[in-house]
Amino acid sequence: MPAIRRTQVFAAALTALLGSTAPALAQSPALDAPMITADSGPTGPYGDPLNTTSANWAGYAATGHRFTSVRADWVQPTAKCDVSDSWSSFWTGLDGDGSNTVEQIGTEADCSGGSPRYAAWYEMYPALPVNFSGPVAPGDHISASVTAGSRGQFTLVITDHTQNWSHTLHKTLRSARLASAEVIAEAPSTQTGVLPLTDFGTVQFDHATANGQAIGSFSPTRISMAGQAAQAGQAGPTKAATSPLNSGNDFSVAWQRH
């Protein structure tokens, strides 16, 4: 199975280290946490797929085609700050599963010093991620999409229908392979490894599509997030569980542990 690569880093992480004087858009490099796989069972209708676990991803990833668009809707979860510092992100994007670039856009729900922090961001890896200025709050209805054009051109769009703002970006990344399409809940990583996953309860993703079709049309991999087991190369306890697809394009991810 291919490795999943991802490098989202949040300003809140830097603020936790440097204090409130850290600049709003300051970022720092992160490691690409490898995927831990454990497959079972054949692919069924609507992409009821092989079950796979990852150290940092939970959701669906479609591969085996050339993907030029992906989109999804979700409701911004509430961060339960039962630990002082934790992180989580929710996004849709192209590449990252078996390729060395990621073109993605989404939101985050973090805890910094025991207080919840919410934001929206985009990333065109290997460039660093950038946070948007628009406010994000629990319960907001979010839509996000990534569309690839010719000659490495991309259009990234995110809309907060509740707060009534939207951002449309035009970016270029000529090295993108367009090898996968994903809708993901993630535990971000730093140079020390995967960060504690914020207790976000359950996030509901709806209308997930790739290339204009229900993502289930591509028999995507269903990924649940798991910690590292004591025995190297095996998945440990589940950190976030992904539901089966409903009608090929709706699913949820439920937090289990940090």
**149 phi/psi in degrees, rounded to 5:** -105, -150
**Has residue 2 been placed in a domain?**
no
**CA R_g for the chain:** 17
Helix (H) / strand (E) containing 228: strand 221-228
Average pLDDT over residues 57-81: 97
For the chain, what is the domain count?
Answer: 1
User: What is the identity of the amino acid at 59?
Assistant: G
What pLDDT sits at residue 191? 77
50 falls in which pLDDT band (50, 70, 90)?
low
Return the structure tokens found at 69.
Answer: 């668009």
Say which CATH number the domain at 168 has: 2.60.120.700
Whether residue 98 is predicted with pLDDT greater than 60 in this model: the reply is yes
Q: Which of 123, 88, 128, 125 is nearest to 108 (CA)?
A: 88
pLDDT at 81: 97
Average pLDDT over residues 45-63: 78
Residue of 188, 31, 44, 25 lying closest to 104 (CA atoms): 188
Residue 107 is given by DSSP the state E
Do residues 236 and 225 make contact, with C-beta atoms less than 8 angstroms apart?
no
The answer as to whether 142 is a domain residue is yes
Report the pLDDT value the prediction gives residue 176, as an integer from 0 to 100: 96
Give the Å distances, CA to CA, from 96 to 9, 133, 161: 15, 26, 27
Q: In the structure, what pLDDT confidence band is assigned to residue 30 with cuts at 50, 70 and 90?
A: very low
**16 lies in some domain:** yes
For residue 219, the 8-state DSSP code is -
- Of the chain, the percentage scoring pLDDT greater than 70 comes to 78
Dist. CA 50–CA 70, nearest whole Å: 21
- φ, ψ dihedrals at 212, nearest 5°: 80, 5
* Position 4 in a domain: no
Query: How large a percentage of the chain has pLDDT more than 90?
Result: 68
Report pLDDT for 235: 66
Predicted confidence at residue 6, as pLDDT, reads 39
At position 150, the amino acid (one-letter code) is S
Which of 93, 87, 112, 115 minimizes the C-alpha distance to 239? Answer: 87
- Domain range for 85: 11-255
Residue 51 — very low, low, confident or very high, per pLDDT cuts 50/70/90?
Answer: confident
The reply to whether 6 falls in a domain is: no
Instruction: Let me know if residue 3 belongs to a domain.
Output: no
pLDDT at 119 over 90: yes
The 10 Å Cβ neighbour count of residue 149 is: 12
Q: Over the chain, what is the mean pLDDT?
A: 83
The answer to whether residue 92 sits within a structural domain is yes
User: Residue 159 is encoded by which pair of tokens?
Assistant: 């809309």
Residue 234 pLDDT grade (very low, low, confident, very high; cuts 50, 70, 90)? low
Q: Which two tokens stand for residue 104?
A: 């993605």
In a domain, 144, yes or no: yes
Query: How far is residue 92 CA from its own chain's centroid?
Result: 6
